[in-house]
Amino acid sequence: MVDIAFIGAGSIVFAKNLMTDILSFEALQDATITLMDIDERRLDRTAAVGEALVEAHDLPAEIRATTDRQEALDGADYVLNMVNIGGEEPFENEVRIPQEHGVKQAVGDTLGPGGVFRALRTMPMMLEMAREMEERCPDAVLLNYTNPMAMLCWAVDEATDVEVVGLCHSVQHTTAALGRYLDVPAAEIEHQVAGINHMAWYLDLTHDDEDLYPALREAADDPEIREQDPVRFDVMEHFGAFITESSHHLSEYLPYFRTDQEIIDAYTPDEDFGHYTTEWMPTGRYFEHWQSYQPALDAEFDPAEADLSLDRSSEYGSHIIHSRETDTTRRMNLNVRNDTGAIANLPDEACVEVPCLVDGTGIHPTTVGDLPGQLAALNRTNINVQEQAVRAGLDHDEDALRRAIKLDPLTAAALDLDAIDAMIDDLLAANAEYLPDLA
């Protein structure tokens, strides 16, 4: 029997998907899943869905629910973190305020002003939880789904002894998109992908031992295909490799695509797999997408009407647990500290996304070697921000916070240094109650 704690389980859609993934494996169907959230009403909904899954398939699994994080961590073998600290208000501020100052982020949860401030409001909880894990479940693995992935994993790695791994679905979703662009079954595409979270590179891309890059470059000349992913295709043409993030997300990690509204409209059209809009607003489609993971509490809710199939998603979390518990070897792209030298020309302390082998002995990053120089250079522009944001969070250093945002590629392309300070002043004032004390 394996004990799995979900922290932030009030996000009912995502938590339900992860429970389904775990219970889809016969070897994990006797698991104890402890759901934890500070919002008891949302927690009760998620627990009801979990219990309905167990009952529908007559499984021996046990679903528990608690608002006490330490209780959830006691004796856990795996801790799945999916928290959102602060809810809607700071999330909106972190995008709206920079937009008012001229920094037009697309999502604002990974880099830039939004990503840095999100890291600062999330890091204290992450570090506190990791220290509780050191006492209550010291051998547990922390599987982190919360963004900004690299900054949070970096901070936990540096400040605690907890084994932390960052999980994302960028590689899986991008490979599916490449399958559509190339008319090749995604499951048959072989790849070597490495870089950092939301900016990892397809270093090799093959099907039946045939290099797919010539066909991908040809596909990029088809207007119907190119308009689905114009930023990624432009980056591929200028820097030589396809990347693991949607055009909307990628556009805000670089200085080229979001400083002029005409360019924004041309490069990030309103249809990016139905998720994002070019102008983020509280009533915009991205915000609605985010809210879809938090159904209204006053709506009628019947867990029996949820999809109770055990169809497994492409998320890596359950695969890691199954591989470790059954000694089944799998290869997955995971976010880990670079102290094994997985990517030789990125900093050792950085959090990198690389192929890892997972089996009963643990999680083992593979050695990629050097990235092509231009790809490593683009990664470093983001790592520079991450490093200063981690220093700000660990040291409570306001100067490091300001340096992080001044080093952000999009912010630096949009504003001068004094204007950046003015924007940061407004963000600090608006989100003060969600942030640690800074000196």
Please give the mean pLDDT across all residues of the chain.
91
Could you give the percent of the chain with pLDDT greater than 90? Answer: 83
Alpha helices in 160-206 (DSSP H): 170-182
Q: Calculate the alpha carbon distances from 201 to 15, 295, 343, 376 in Å.
A: 29, 35, 12, 10
Give the pLDDT band of residue 163 (cuts 50, 70, 90).
very high
Give the pLDDT band of residue 296 (cuts 50, 70, 90).
low
Map out the domains of the chain as residue ranges.
3-166
Per DSSP, the three-state class of 230 is helix
Which residues carry out catalysis?
A: 169
Looking up tokens 């490799």, which residue turns up?
241
**Count, residues in the chain:** 439
Task: Say if residues 281 and 287 touch (Cβ distance below 8 Å).
Answer: yes
Task: Say if residue 433 is exposed, middle or buried (CB neighbours under 10 Å; 0-12, 13-18, 19+).
Answer: exposed
CB atoms within 10 A of CB 330: 14
Give the mean model confidence (pLDDT) for residues 279-285. Answer: 39
CB atoms within 10 A of CB 329: 12
Alpha carbon 371 to chain centroid, angstroms: 22
Looking up tokens 């998603």, which residue turns up?
313
Architecture of the domain defined by 3-166: 3-Layer(aba) Sandwich (3.40)
> Which amino acid is present at 91?
F
Give the mean model confidence (pLDDT) for residues 370-397. Answer: 98
Q: What is the DSSP string of 255-274?
A: SSSSSSHHHHHHHS-S-STT
The token pair at 232 is 């990624």
66-76 burial, b if ≥16 CB within 10 A, otherwise e? Answer: beebeebbbeb
Which residues fall within 8 angstroms of residue 407, CB to CB, at 6 or more apart?
Answer: 381, 384, 385, 388
Q: Above 90 in pLDDT, residue 308? A: no
Q: Above 70 in pLDDT, residue 310? A: yes
Model pLDDT, residue 307: 81
Task: Say if residues 164 and 153 touch (Cβ distance below 8 Å).
Answer: yes
The token pair at 72 is 């959830």
Give the pLDDT band of residue 284 (cuts 50, 70, 90).
very low
Record the pTM.
Answer: 0.93
Give the mean model confidence (pLDDT) for residues 373-387. Answer: 98
Among 233-242, 284-293, 385-394, which is the least confidently predicted range? Answer: 284-293
